[in-house]
Amino acid sequence: MKRLRVGVIYGGRSGEHEVSLASAAAVFAHLDRQRYEPVPIRIEKDGRWALAERAPSAMSAAEVIEHARLEAGRAPRVAREVHLMARPCDEPLLSIDRPAHGKTALDRGHSGDGDGAVVQSMGLDVVFPVLHGPYGEDGTVQGLLELANLPYVGCGVLASAVGMDKAMMKVVFAQHGLPQVDHAVVLRAEWVRNRDAVRAGLLGRLAMPFFVKPANLGSSVGISKVRDASELDAALDLAAGFDRKIVVEAGVANAREIECAVLGNDAPEASVAGEVVPSREFYDYEAKYLDDGSKTIIPADLAATQLADVQRISKAAFLAIDGSGLARVDFLLSRDDGRLYLNEVNTLPGFTTISMYSKLWEASGVAYAALIDRLIELALERHAAKQQLRTSVL
Over the stretch 97-156, which tens digit does the pLDDT of each residue have? 454 444 433 333 333 444 444 445 568 999 999 999 889 999 999 999 999 999 999 999
Give the separation between CA 40 and CA 95, rounded to whole angstroms: 12
Residue 58 is predicted with a pLDDT of 61
Among residues 180, 213, 162, the alpha carbon closest in space to that of 342 is found at: 180
Mean pLDDT to the nearest integer, 33-47 = 93
Residue 101 is predicted with a pLDDT of 45
Q: How far is CA 177 from the centre of its chain?
A: 25
Mean pLDDT to the nearest integer, 313-341 = 97
For 146-193, what is each residue's pLDDT tens digit? 999 999 999 999 999 999 999 999 999 999 999 999 999 999 999 999
Residue burial 136-160, b: 16+ Cβ < 10 Å; e: rest: bbbbbbbebbbebbbbbbbbbbebb
Tell me what the pLDDT averaged over the chain comes to. Answer: 85
Least confident residue range of 44-53, 119-128, 254-263, 340-349: 119-128
For 222-235, what is each residue's pLDDT tens digit? 899 999 999 999 99
In the chain, % of residues over pLDDT 70: 79
Residue 89 is predicted with a pLDDT of 52
**Residue 53: pLDDT band by 50, 70, 90 thresholds?**
confident
Q: Quick one: DSSP state of residue 246? A: E
Give 66-74 contacts, CB < 8 A, sequence gap 24+: 68/17, 68/18
pTM for the complete prediction?
A: 0.84
Least confident residue range of 83-87, 306-310, 331-335: 83-87
CB atoms within 10 A of CB 385: 11
Give the separation between CA 131 and CA 145, rounded to whole angstroms: 14
Residue 75 is predicted with a pLDDT of 55
Name the helix (H) or strand (E) containing 128.
strand 126-130
Residue 54 is predicted with a pLDDT of 82
Residue 86 is predicted with a pLDDT of 55
**Cis ω before 151 (30° cut-off from 0):** no
Residue 88 is predicted with a pLDDT of 55
**Looking at per-residue confidence, does 114 or 246 come out higher?**
246
